[in-house]
């Protein structure tokens, strides 16, 4: 079966469509607002005229390329091309401003490919077992997982934890706008139909990071300044990769685990991986200022999801995220029904898809190296020429989410928030965390209490949820305790010297 699958994959037609898919995915992912989901959806009609294997390899190419492509704009222009790359901007743009854009992009590529290969191998070897474990996640477990993710606010709050918490709660408050997920009643819609669908993530992302950065940079765009971003050919050495390999492998595992749980996604995996890397790093001070380890963790986390989301799709017929939901439709249009019977009735297609994912990631490595040389030239373009182009892309990305001008207005509003509040010491990353994780936490919390008839012990009597809650508490308490003990030790040293 494996030999047959390899012969099928390496047909000239399949190789060609994999290259087309990966290139299209990188392009879609690198443009803010045009996400991997949009890319896969647009390529879906093209896959209908192809064989099941060729069609799925095309879509997988777009998926993998799109998730990686988001890191390009995140690093170069401080605007994540996809929500999955939101954590990458924390360190990526700082490295770009230091003239290390090439190094940052190469680290993102290496981490993405290693994580993709890791995830694909897990898919091939232990897919059914992971899928069965993922079914143990119910509302209580999802709430605990989201709560654990929200503890990252402590590590990205810069100088003031209080201000970081305020921004986190503001993000969670914004996430409650729209229809109540349980009762279906409008909340905080102010009588406007536009708010009934809630606040879209893409306009918020583009506004908080891209528009705010454009506003900051536009003030000096007409001046020739040494502070302007410039590309320095800083090579990524094997030593850099070796130093961060442990983080890449660990984040790949986190991404694979998160991706195998239906309804989570690459954004959560990216933030959780970044948080864990920051917690265990020996160079904590570099995080948020241009850390290669931070980029490696974020990109390995989000790309580790790519293979893992296929686990519940192929074994149970349950899409792991929005992209695999589109792929589910593609399989069914080909007359294939995902689930246990797929392994029995169409094993050739299943193994071609799983092994083909390994090939897709190798193609990403080839095309990614070429894409870096092309896209990094953006840093050499004068700001007064670049800003109008970036503004146009931002408007297109925001409008393309739901094809409404309302989203464009939201983007501008979030742009003002991202421009004004950081000047008073309020960081925007905690706000983004609240917007992303808030709906998962709220929905799961309420569903868990409904199923337990109001018994709060449901969160502590289930092993998985209890474990994540304990980890969340430790993530908040340990940094505060370490800081307190450090200050106490310093005070004792001062007293002795006196």
Q: Is the predicted pLDDT of residue 225 greater than 60, yes or no?
A: no
Residue spans per domain, the chain: 2-497
Q: How confident is the model at residue 428 (pLDDT cuts 50, 70, 90)?
A: confident
Q: With pLDDT > 90 as the criterion, what percentage of the chain qualifies?
A: 8
C-alpha 160, offset from chain centre: 25
- Residue 335 has a pLDDT of 78
Whether 19 and 364 have beta carbons less than 8 Å apart is answered as: no
Query: pTM value?
Result: 0.72
Q: What is the overall mean pLDDT for the chain?
A: 79
- How far is the C-alpha of 179 from the C-alpha of 221, rounded, in Å? 42
Q: Is the model more confident about 462 or about 498?
A: 462
Q: Is the predicted pLDDT of residue 442 greater than 90, yes or no?
A: no
Tens digit of pLDDT for each residue in 363-404?
Answer: 999 988 887 777 766 656 666 776 787 788 778 777 876 778
Whether 213 and 235 have beta carbons less than 8 Å apart is answered as: no
Whether 306 and 357 have beta carbons less than 8 Å apart is answered as: yes
Tens digit of pLDDT for each residue in 37-69?
Answer: 777 877 777 777 788 888 888 989 998 998 888
Give the phi and the psi of residue 235 in degrees, each rounded to 5.
-75, 145
- How far is the C-alpha of 40 from the C-alpha of 326, rounded, in Å? 7
């Amino acid at each position: 079966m494996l030999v047959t699958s390899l012969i099928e994959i390496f047909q000239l037609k399949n190789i060609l469509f994999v290259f087309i898919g990966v290139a299209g995915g990188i392009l879609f992912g690198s443009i803010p607002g045009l996400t991997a989901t949009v890319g896969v959806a647009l390529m879906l009609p093209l896959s209908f005229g192809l064989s099941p294997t060729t069609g799925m390899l095309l879509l997988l190419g777009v998926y993998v390329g799109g998730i990686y492509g988001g890191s390009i704009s995140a690093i170069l222009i401080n605007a994540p091309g996809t929500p999955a790359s939101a954590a990458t901007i924390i360190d990526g743009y700082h490295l770009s401003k230091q003239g290390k854009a090439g190094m940052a992009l190469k680290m993102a590529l290496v981490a993405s490919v290693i994580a993709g290969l890791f995830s694909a191998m897990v898919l091939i070897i232990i897919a059914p077992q992971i899928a069965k474990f993922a079914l143990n996640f119910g509302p209580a477990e999802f709430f605990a997982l989201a709560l654990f993710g929200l503890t990252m606010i402590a590590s990205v709050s810069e100088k003031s934890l209080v201000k970081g918490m305020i921004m986190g709660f503001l993000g969670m408050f914004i996430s409650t706008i729209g229809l109540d997920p349980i009762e279906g009643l409008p909340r905080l819609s102010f009588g406007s139909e536009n708010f009934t669908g809630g606040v879209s993530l893409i306009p918020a992302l583009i506004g908080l990071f891209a528009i705010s950065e454009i506003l900051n940079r536009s003030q000096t765009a007409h001046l020739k300044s040494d502070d302007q971003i410039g590309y320095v050919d800083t090579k990524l050495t094997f030593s850099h990769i070796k130093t961060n390999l442990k983080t890449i492998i660990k984040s790949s595992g986190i991404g694979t685990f998160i991706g195998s749980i239906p309804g989570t996604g690459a954004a959560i995996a990216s933030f959780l991986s970044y948080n864990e890397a920051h917690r265990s790093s020996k160079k904590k001070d570099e995080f948020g200022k241009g850390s290669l380890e931070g980029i490696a963790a974020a990109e390995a986390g989000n790309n580790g999801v790519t293979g893992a989301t296929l686990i519940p799709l192929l074994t149970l017929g349950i899409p792991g995220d929005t992209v695999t939901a589109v792929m589910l439709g593609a399989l069914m249009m080909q007359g294939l029904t995902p689930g246990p019977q797929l392994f029995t009735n169409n094993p050739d297609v299943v193994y071609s898809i799983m092994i083909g994912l390994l090939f897709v990631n190798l193609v990403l490595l080839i095309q990614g190296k070429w894409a870096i040389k092309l896209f990094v030239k953006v840093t050499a373009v004068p700001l007064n020429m670049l800003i109008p182009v970036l503004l146009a892309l931002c408007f297109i990305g925001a409008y393309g989410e739901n094809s409404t001008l309302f989203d464009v207005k939201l983007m501008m509003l979030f742009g003002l928030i991202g421009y004004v509040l950081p000047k008073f010491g309020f960081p925007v990353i905690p706000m983004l965390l609240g917007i992303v994780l808030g709906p998962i936490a709220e929905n799961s919390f309420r569903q868990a209490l409904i199923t337990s008839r109001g018994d709060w012990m449901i969160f502590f009597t289930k092993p998985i949820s209890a474990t994540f809650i304990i980890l969340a508490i430790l993530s908040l308490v340990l940094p505060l305790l370490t800081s307190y003990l450090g200050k106490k030790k310093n005070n004792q040293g001062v007293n002795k010297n006196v």
